């Protein structure tokens, strides 16, 4: 008899079932909070990026962005033209869009497995709007803290990737990728040839931009993310309901499960400078909810969720150290 594979989703099911049986009212309140959080905060922020990314892929415009970004990001991070586009989405679109873009291009043949694994180690981050608008303004109550948060939460993974590419002796984008880029920048080629030279798979070149299909796919992705947010908000509701737990412990447990619902709790339970350090650590990691969302997207790509988890955990520690140093100057 084949043993069932242990995944984050499978590990959650027994726990969720027991919690539903033990305290259905708390479970319902947590699920409702997660639904409102997804609908009010995450859906408006994520859906436009998911839709536009899908349309760019369908319209064969990934190569255009890749050609613009590659001359800078290729030598800096050792990524290919398509990898440059993954860096863009991973840093601007928020969790888990970086992972989704990497896996889409990997499954379409636009990325090698080695490069996809390298990109996944640092290209899945909180969006700038979430960092400056939600963490800095709504949670910390200090708009001026937005820039330090951005520098830490984006500077750490970029530095991590830059050092990692040097230690791994990755050439700037790889010789084959650089050759494709030079060919794609040449004159006299048809659009299809240029796209193929940039590494866009043939199946994507021949696809037609279908707005209806893009909207349908984007809504499905958004609903999947919403389901994970609801599930982890449900889990976070139970520690919050325990009267014997100190507020600090409740906040840390909540943030480790779901950063969007945990961030306000951290700012209520800790002083501003301490909350600043903790927010940098937990936002860099993304919480177990973001890890589970990433696991759902990379399932078919052959990439390792364990490797992703360890990379993000190490970057969270680096972000906390950088935030601690910054807090000595800011507060």
pLDDT in tens, 291-316: 999 998 888 788 999 999 999 999 99
Q: What is the pLDDT of residues 256-278, one digit of tens each?
A: 998 888 899 999 999 999 999 99
Instruction: Identify the pLDDT of residue 191.
Output: 38
Q: Render the burial of 210-228: b for 16+ CB within 10 Å, e for the rest.
A: eeeebeeebeebbeebbbb
Cα–Cα distances (Å) from 268 to 68, 251, 295, in that order, read: 43, 8, 31
Mean pLDDT score across all residues of the chain: 81
Three-state SS for 188?
A: coil
The pLDDT of residue 186: 42
Contact 80, 173 (CB under 8 A): yes
This prediction's pTM: 0.79
Closest to 306 in 3D by CA, of 7, 68, 71, 69: 7
């Amino acid at each position: 008899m084949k043993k069932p594979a242990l995944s984050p989703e499978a590990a959650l099911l027994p726990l969720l079932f027991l919690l539903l049986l033990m305290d259905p009212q708390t479970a319902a309140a947590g699920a409702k909070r997660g639904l409102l959080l997804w609908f009010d905060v995450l859906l408006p922020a994520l859906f436009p990026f998911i839709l536009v990314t899908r349309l760019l892929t369908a319209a064969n415009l990934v190569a255009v962005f890749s050609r613009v970004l590659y001359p800078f990001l290729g030598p800096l991070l050792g990524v290919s033209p398509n990898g440059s586009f993954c860096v863009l989405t991973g840093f601007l679109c928020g969790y888990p869009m970086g992972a989704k873009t990497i896996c889409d291009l990997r499954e379409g043949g636009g990325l090698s497995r080695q490069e996809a694994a390298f990109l996944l180690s640092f290209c899945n981050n909180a969006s700038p709007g979430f960092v400056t608008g939600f963490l800095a303004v709504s949670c910390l109550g200090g708009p001026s803290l937005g820039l330090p948060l951005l520098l830490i939460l984006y500077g750490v993974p970029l530095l991590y990737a830059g050092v990692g590419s040097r230690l791994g002796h990755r050439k700037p984008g790889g010789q084959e990728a650089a050759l494709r880029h030079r060919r794609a920048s040449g004159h006299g080629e048809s659009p299809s040839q240029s796209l193929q030279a940039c590494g866009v798979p043939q199946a994507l070149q021949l696809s037609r931009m279908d707005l209806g299909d893009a909207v349908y796919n984007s809504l499905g992705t958004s609903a999947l993310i919403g389901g994970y947010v609801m599930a982890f908000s449900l889990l976070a509701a139970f520690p919050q309901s325990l009267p014997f737990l100190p507020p600090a412990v409740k906040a840390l447990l909540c943030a480790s499960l779901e950063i969007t619902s945990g961030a306000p709790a951290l700012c209520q339970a800790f002083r501003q400078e301490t909350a600043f350090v903790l927010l940098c650590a937990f936002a860099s990691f993304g919480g177990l909810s973001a890890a589970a969302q990433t696991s759902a997207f990379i399932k078919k790509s052959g990439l390792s969720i364990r490797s992703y988890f360890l990379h993000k955990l190490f970057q969270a520690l680096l972000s906390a150290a950088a935030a601690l140093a910054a807090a000595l100057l800011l507060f």
